[in-house]
Amino acid sequence: MSDILTHTDAGVMTMTLSRVDKKNSITAAMYTAMAEAIQEAARNDAVKVLVIQGHETIFSAGNDIADFLNHPPKGNDAPVFQFLRGLSTLAKPVVAAVAGPAVGVGTTLLFHCDLVYAGDNAAFAMPFVNLGLCPEAASSLLVPNLVGYQRAAELLLLGEPFTAETALEMGLVNRIVPPTEVNALAHKQATKLAAKPLSSLLETKRFLKQGHAAAVQTRMTDEAVVFGRMLGEAPAREAFTAFMEKRKPDFTKV
């Protein structure tokens, strides 16, 4: 069975991360499938709203570390960047349902969703520095815009996990519910959106995003260049090797 499941019903396309045994970590093949689903959502008139969801125990552990180590994304057309560009420029509304850990891109993709619902077990983190990397998905622009510089610096330099309550207070999350209810709530809200005039949804989203749209794409491209370079350097290799060897990374020698 595919690790990315999609189905469309009553104007709502649902994209489900379904690799629970590996904590919904995302491989290049999964990014390609996600980018294709987003393209389909954009061009198919039967789709008015996209829902992104995981499992009630895990949203996503972020990039698949082994896959990243063995097949690092090369250039701006790598599957991860195609996915992020597609999501961040999708004109139709996107609703996310997050339960359990949402690590790395599992958190940063949410900055490109319009409505985000979280289970009370959600745990967000952007541990790029801890992995010898830099932010991606324009998070270095969007996080300070959302929470101010110092709080953004804490989130992105220390990279510690934060709770659903904190995400709600930051404005990243719209509402917190029990994990078993989060996917249903996202669908309920998506169905409400799908019943509204699409042209009004599109114009409203476009105006909501207009202030930062160009800057987001520029920052995402700039981050991708540095992120790609850092993936091949010693700190990231040490962090990723340590994760696979189930030990703490030692950055004293890199």
Q: Which stretches of the chain bind ligand COA, using CB under 6 A?
A: 22-23, 25, 61-66, 101, 103-104, 127, 131
Residue 171 vs 232, nearer CB to ligand COA? 232
Q: How far is the CB of 61 from ligand COA (least distance, A)?
A: 3
133 and 95 Cβ atoms separated by less than 8 Å: no
> How does strand 123-125 pair with strand 4-9?
unpaired
Q: Closest approach of Cβ 92 to ligand COA, in Å?
A: 27
By the 8 A CB rule, do 13 and 41 touch?
Answer: yes
CA distances, 251 to each of 85, 134, 147, 238, 240 (Å): 32, 16, 29, 7, 12
Query: From the CB of 36, what's the least distance to ligand COA, in Å?
Result: 22
In the complex, the smallest distance separating the C-beta of residue 64 from ligand COA, rounded to whole angstroms, is 4
Nearer to ligand COA, 103 or 142 (CB): 103
Nearer to ligand COA, 22 or 175 (CB): 22
Residue 11 or 127 having the CB closest to ligand COA: 127
In 3D space, the residue among 191, 164, 219, 17 whose CA is nearest the CA of residue 93 turns out to be 191
Amino acid at 63: N
